[in-house]
C-alpha cells in the first residue's frame, strides 16, 4: 500500500512536470528586464543537488552530476573507475553538460566532495555567483574561479540580489560514523591549495542551510541530515528540502523537531536520500525503502496538511 502510494506520488510528480514546458523557464532566465510569474521548477540532481528556477533566476544547489564511485559503497554492475579519497578529483564534464545548461547562483551547503566536487567546472562554465563558506571559496579559488563570483558567508547573512534573495542559516553536518564524526578544519587565505585537489582535500569547512526566496515561494534547503532547531524557528518556509538519509535516525526525534521548527511546511521534498555513488539510472530501491517510505509515513502522521513530493533524478516537476 505504501509503495503503491509512493509510486502514485512519483507518477503525479512526473505528470505535473511533463505538463510544463521547461524550456520556457530556461529561456526566460537571464533576461532581467522583464520578470515572469511562473511556478517554481525543480529538478533533482541527486545527493543534495538541485536546479530550481522561477523563470527569472536559475539556482543550483550542491550540483554533483558526476556521482563518482569513490570511498566504497558502489554497485557491482557499475563499471566506471573506482576512485580512492587520495585520488585527484575529477568531474564528468560530458555528463554535466548534458544536465546543466546555465545558472545564475550556486548555493553550496558545505565543502565535501559530493556537494562541491563539480562546482569548480560548473561555476566556470556558467559564470554563476557562488555562495558558501570560506573553505568552499578557497577551494574554488584554487580552481581559478574569480573573486567576482565568490560570496564567502558564515551564517546569518541575508543578501538581496536582482530577483532573488537568500538568507544564510548556520548549520551542522550529519552525525556520520555513528555520531563520532567531527571536523573542525577550515581553509582560509593562508591555505595553500593546488588544483586539481585530491578528493580528501574537499573538507567540510562548516555547514550551512539556505532560505532561498523566489517571487512565489521560500525554499529552506538542507545539505545534511542535521540542523540547529533555533536557527530554523521562525523561518516558516513553504517548501522544505528535508535531508533524510539514514544518519538522521541516530538523532533525537529528528522528523518531529524538523517539521515543528520549520512550522509544518505545506510542501516537503526529501533530499540527500539516494545512494549518490551510483550513476543516474541505477535502482535506488534500497534507499527508497529505507529512507523515503518511512519518512513519508512519518510526515503523514505528524503533519497531515503537508504534501510530500518525492523527486526522481533529472525528472522536472513544479510547485505552483
Interacting residues toward Zn ion by CB under 5 A:
112
Taking residue 15's Cβ as centre, other Cβ atoms within 10 Å add up to: 10
Smallest separation, CB 129 to Zn ion (Å): 22
Smallest separation, CB 181 to Zn ion (Å): 9
How many H helices and E strands in the chain?
A: 11, 16
Residue 25 or 108 with smaller CB distance to Zn ion: 108
Which residue sits closest to Zn ion, CB atoms considered? 112
Residue 112 or 277 with smaller CB distance to Zn ion: 112
Q: 3-class DSSP state for residue 208?
A: strand
| Partner residues linked to 211 by β-bridges | 167, 220
CA distance 33 to 317: 26
Residue 112 or 129 with smaller CB distance to Zn ion: 112
CA distances, 258 to each of 16, 154, 204, 232, 255 (Å) = 27, 22, 22, 8, 5
Smallest separation, CB 243 to Zn ion (Å): 10
CA distances, 181 to each of 39, 91, 155, 199, 243 (Å) = 39, 26, 21, 18, 17
Smallest separation, CB 110 to Zn ion (Å): 5
Q: Are 296 and 2 in contact (CB under 8 A)?
A: yes
Residue 56 or 221 with smaller CB distance to Zn ion: 221
Query: What is the per-residue DSSP string for 280-311?
Result: TTS--HHHIIIIIHHHHHHHHHH-TTPEEP--
Residue for grid cell 562554465: 125
Residue for grid cell 563499471: 79
Residue 176 or 308 with smaller CB distance to Zn ion: 176
Close Cβ partners of 41 (under 8 Å, ≥ 6 residues apart): 20, 22, 25, 51, 52, 53, 54, 55, 316, 317, 318
Residue 41 or 112 with smaller CB distance to Zn ion: 112
Residue 112 or 313 with smaller CB distance to Zn ion: 112
Residue 71 or 127 with smaller CB distance to Zn ion: 71
Smallest separation, CB 273 to Zn ion (Å): 14
Smallest separation, CB 37 to Zn ion (Å): 36
Smallest separation, CB 182 to Zn ion (Å): 12
For residues 120-132, b (16+ Cβ closer than 10 Å) or e, as one string? bbbbebbebbbbb
Smallest separation, CB 136 to Zn ion (Å): 12
Total count of residues recorded for the chain: 320
CA distance 112 to 103: 21
Amino acid at each position: 500500500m505504501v509503495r503503491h502510494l509512493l509510486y502514485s506520488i512519483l507518477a503525479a510528480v512526473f505528470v505535473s512536470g511533463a505538463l510544463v514546458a521547461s524550456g520556457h523557464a530556461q529561456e526566460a532566465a537571464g533576461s532581467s528586464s522583464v520578470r515572469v510569474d511562473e511556478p517554481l521548477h525543480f529538478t533533482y540532481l541527486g545527493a543534495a543537488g538541485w536546479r530550481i528556477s522561477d523563470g527569472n533566476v536559475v539556482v543550483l544547489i550542491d550540483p554533483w552530476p558526476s556521482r563518482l564511485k569513490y570511498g566504497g559503497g558502489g554497485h557491482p554492475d557499475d563499471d566506471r573507475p573506482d576512485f580512492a579519497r587520495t585520488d585527484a578529483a575529477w568531474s564528468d564534464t560530458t555528463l554535466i553538460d548534458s544536465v546543466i545548461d546555465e545558472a545564475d547562483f550556486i548555493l553550496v551547503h558545505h565543502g565535501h566532495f559530493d556537494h562541491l566536487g563539480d562546482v569548480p567546472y560548473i561555476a566556470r562554465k556558467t559564470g554563476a555567483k557562488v555562495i558558501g563558506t570560506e573553505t568552499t571559496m578557497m577551494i574554488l579559488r584554487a580552481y581559478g574561479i574569480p573573486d567576482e563570483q565568490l560570496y564567502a558567508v558564515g551564517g546569518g547573512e541575508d543578501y538581496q540580489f536582482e530577483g532573488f534573495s537568500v538568507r544564510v542559516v548556520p548549520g551542522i553536518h550529519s552525525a556520520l560514523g555513528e555520531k563520532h564524526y567531527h571536523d573542525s578544519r577550515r581553509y582560509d587565505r593562508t591555505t595553500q591549495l593546488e588544483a586539481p585537489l585530491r578528493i580528501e582535500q574537499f573538507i567540510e569547512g562548516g555547514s550551512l542551510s539556505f532560505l532561498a526566496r523566489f517571487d512565489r515561494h521560500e525554499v529552506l534547503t538542507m545539505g545534511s541530515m542535521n540542523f540547529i532547531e533555533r536557527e530554523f524557528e521562525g523561518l516558516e518556509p513553504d517548501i522544505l528540502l528535508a535531508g533524510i538519509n539514514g544518519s538522521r535516525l541516530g538523532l533525537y526525534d529528528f522528523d518531529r523537531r524538523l517539521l515543528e521548527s520549520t512550522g509544518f511546511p505545506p510542501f516537503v521534498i526529501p533530499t540527500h536520500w539516494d545512494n549518490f555513488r551510483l550513476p543516474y539510472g541505477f535502482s535506488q530501491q534500497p534507499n527508497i525503502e529505507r529512507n523515503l517510505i518511512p519518512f513519508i509515513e512519518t510526515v503523514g502522521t505528524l503533519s497531515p496538511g503537508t504534501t510530500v513530493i518525492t523527486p526522481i533524478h533529472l525528472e522536472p516537476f513544479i510547485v505552483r
